[in-house]
């Protein structure tokens, strides 16, 4: 048995999944309006108004075939314009024959604007708002210059028709408002479901990365340890080869540690223990640790501090943030200068890392803190790196109640600023 629901399924089949609910609503609206047009066509035939009756009959047929139009074209916009065109022509003819701008059919033009907006978007609604306004203005002008015919309908019959039209308009308003509320509620539900699914997928990804990184790190530590032991008594050539193994393994271990840390912080499993941190001492330790990285590209590292600067942060995580920023500057600067500075500014601790390196464009800056992102497509080939260091800095800074930002110009270096709460 072919039910109404099955008919709707056939009508909306060409539409996308996201459009089908709106297609069903448009189909039901058309199915509800078409009988009204037929009933009013019979009424005005009996009242001796053939033009009005004919326009209503045409509208009833045109609106009634909206489901077929939607099924054939697969376009919500075309179907909504089709419906509004047939509906508005009957309203215009009825108003022109039955009282002009004050006719009971004129307020129905608002239904065209609402239907077009809900189904096809605000641009379609704006088109029908403009057309409806033009129709109303045209009726007003025609009425002022006295070119409209005088209604030849008994007053009581005209009042009955007006009452029926207004009642129908109230019902249509209820249907349209209900549809708008339902569409909004459905969109919110779909958004919530999509967000929940994305959060679940992100947690699953973070859990997977954390487990896999741990499983990879354990045997890699063993390989590095054995290479270190073998190098102690190895011949010079063998020792050099073992050194290359240690270097490559150390680089891989560093990348695995970055992946593990990022996965743990995204999953909320990385502990943070904020305390008062003496920033000057922390920066001095970073300078010592970063010295080989800075010297590798023949750079100079300068430390600038203004008095005693104390921050409220996890000292281990803050140190890693600063070290990552300095390492990033050292990687993208050759025979230049890197400045590491800290100071108090308006209740915050500002830690700046300035370099004279290659710099970045505004488009590159937008992605610089994204995981696995590099400034350019060939950055990883030219400079190396996993693209995780700056992403970790942002995650750590956020978790410690701070922030990180970057300013840069191509060829003029970069400035990374880490903001932390004052202790």
For 183-198, write each residue's pLDDT tens digit. Answer: 778 778 888 888 888 8
- What is the band of 4 on the pLDDT scale with cuts at 50, 70, 90? low
pLDDT at 140: 93
Percent of the chain's residues with pLDDT above 70? 93
Average pLDDT, the chain: 85
Kind and range of the H or E run holding 396: helix 389-399
- What is the band of 216 on the pLDDT scale with cuts at 50, 70, 90? confident
* Topology at the third CATH level for domain 275-421: Heat Shock Protein 90 (3.30.565)
Buried/exposed code over 388-417 (b: 16+ C-beta within 10 A; e: otherwise):
bbbbbbbbbbebbebebebebeeeebbbbb
Between helix 389-399 and helix 236-266 the angle, nearest 10°, is 40
Q: Look up the pTM and report it.
A: 0.51
Count of CB atoms within 10 A of residue 47's CB? 19
Residues 6 or more apart whose Cβ sits within 8 Å of residue 243:
231
Q: Compute the average pLDDT of residues 369-397.
A: 70
pLDDT at 165: 73
DSSP label of 422: B
pLDDT at 157: 67
Q: 20-28 contacts: CB < 8 A, separation 24 or more?
A: 21/183, 21/186, 22/76, 22/118, 22/119, 22/183, 23/70, 23/76, 25/118, 25/119, 25/179, 25/182, 25/183, 26/66, 26/70, 26/76, 26/79, 26/80, 26/83, 26/115, 26/119, 27/66, 27/67, 27/70
With beta carbons less than 8 A apart as the criterion, state whether 250 and 383 touch. no
Q: How far apart are CA 352 and CA 418, in angstroms?
A: 6
- What is the band of 375 on the pLDDT scale with cuts at 50, 70, 90? very low
Percent of the chain's residues with pLDDT above 90? 38
pLDDT digits (tens, 9 = 90+) for 304-357: 887 889 999 999 999 999 999 999 999 999 999 999 999 998 889 999 999 999
Angle at 269 between CA 266 and CA 274, to 5 degrees: 100
With beta carbons less than 8 A apart as the criterion, state whether 389 and 262 touch. no
pLDDT digits (tens, 9 = 90+) for 318-328: 999 999 999 99
Buried/exposed code over 223-242 (b: 16+ C-beta within 10 A; e: otherwise):
ebeebeeebeeeeeeeeeeb
pLDDT at 401: 93
* Domain extents in the chain: 4-153, 275-421
């Amino acid at each position: 048995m072919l039910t109404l629901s099955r008919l709707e399924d056939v009508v909306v089949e060409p539409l996308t999944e996201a459009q089908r609910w709106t297609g069903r609503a448009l189909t039901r609206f058309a199915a509800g309006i078409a009988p009204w047009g037929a009933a009013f066509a019979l009424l005005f035939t009996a009242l001796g108004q053939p033009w009005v009756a004919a326009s209503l009959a045409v509208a009833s047929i045109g609106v009634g075939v909206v489901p077929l139009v939607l099924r054939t074209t697969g376009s919500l916009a075309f179907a909504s314009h089709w419906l509004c065109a047939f509906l508005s022509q009957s309203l215009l003819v009825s108003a022109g024959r039955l009282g002009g701008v004050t006719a009971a059919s004129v307020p129905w033009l608002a239904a065209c604007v609402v239907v077009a907006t809900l189904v096809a978007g605000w641009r379609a609604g704006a088109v029908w708002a403009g057309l409806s306004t033009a129709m109303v203005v045209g009726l007003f002008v025609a009425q002022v210059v006295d070119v409209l015919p005088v209604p030849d309908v008994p007053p009581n019959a005209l009042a009955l028709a007006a009452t029926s039209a207004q009642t129908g308009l109230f019902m249509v308003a209820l249907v349209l408002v209900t549809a708008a509320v339902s569409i909004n509620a459905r969109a919110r539900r779909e958004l919530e479901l999509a967000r929940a699914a994305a959060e679940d997928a992100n947690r699953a990804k973070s859990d997977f990365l954390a487990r896999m990184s741990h499983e990879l790190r354990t045997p890699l530590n063993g390989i590095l340890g054995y290479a270190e032991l073998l190098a102690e008594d190895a011949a010079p050539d063998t020792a050099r080869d073992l050194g290359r193994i240690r270097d490559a393994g150390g680089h891989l271990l560093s990348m695995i540690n970055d992946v593990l840390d990022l996965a743990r912080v995204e999953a909320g499993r990385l502990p943070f223990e904020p305390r008062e941190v003496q920033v000057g001492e922390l920066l001095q330790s970073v300078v010592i640790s970063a010295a080989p990285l800075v010297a590798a590209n023949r750079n100079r590292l300068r430390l600038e501090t203004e008095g005693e600067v104390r921050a409220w942060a996890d000292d281990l995580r803050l140190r890693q943030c600063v070290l990552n920023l300095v390492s990033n500057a050292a990687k993208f600067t050759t025979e230049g200068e890197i400045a590491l500075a800290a100071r108090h500014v308006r209740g915050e601790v500002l830690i700046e890392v300035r370099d004279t390196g290659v710099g970045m464009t505004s488009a590159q800056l937008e992605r610089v803190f994204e995981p696995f992102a590099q400034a350019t497509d060939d950055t990883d080939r030219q400079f190396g790196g996993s693209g995780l260091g700056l992403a970790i800095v942002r995650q750590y800074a956020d978790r410690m109640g701070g922030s990180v930002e970057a300013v840069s110009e191509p060829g003029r270096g970069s400035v990374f600023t880490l903001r932390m709460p004052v202790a």
